[in-house]
Amino acid sequence: MVRHLLGSSLISWNSKKQTCVALSTLEVEYIAVGHACAQSIWLKHQLMDNGVKLEKVPLYCDNTSAINLTKNPIQHSKTKHIEIRHHFIRDHIQKGDIEIMFVKTKNQLAC
């Protein structure tokens, strides 16, 4: 895992084998953005412990279907197989801890 400051952006990047089998690219992206959310919440709390207050942490994703799924609390037949633990991000978006935004793949800083 690599974390560094690039300009005014804190970048967190890691690569690991997923512990579950995804049935679609939507699910893969949704799970990945959920992991990024968990890391972001952890980093937010670490910064708060050091006197830095953040409102909404911006998360960037290049998959509009995954973004739409994070904002829609209704279970659909195509997503009902996704484990509950992966819906962690929905709660934090609704609480206002996280703001998820679209970014084109070519504009992702981690690429």
Which pLDDT score, from 0 to 100, does residue 3 have?
41
pLDDT mean across residues, the chain: 76
The residue behind tokens 């690599």 is 2
pLDDT tens for 65-102 read: 888 888 876 666 566 656 666 678 888 998 999 999 99
Most confidently predicted of 12-16, 27-31, 92-96, 106-110: 92-96
Q: Which token pair is 94? A: 């609704």
Would the pTM count as exceeding 0.75? Answer: no
Contacts of 37 (CB under 8 A, 6+ apart): 59, 88, 89, 92, 98
pLDDT recorded at residue 87: 72
pLDDT digits (tens, 9 = 90+) for 72-81: 766 665 666 5
pLDDT of amino acid 5: 41
Cβ count near 60 (within 10 Å): 18
Q: How far apart are CA 27 and CA 30, in angstroms?
A: 5
Return the amino acid letter for 1. Answer: M
What tokens were used for 39? Answer: 């890391």
The 8-class DSSP code of residue 84 comes to G
- Contact between residue 89 and residue 37 where contact means Cβ atoms under 8 Å apart: yes
Query: What is the average per-residue pLDDT within 43-47?
Result: 88
- Output the pLDDT for position 20: 59
Domain positions in the chain: 23-107
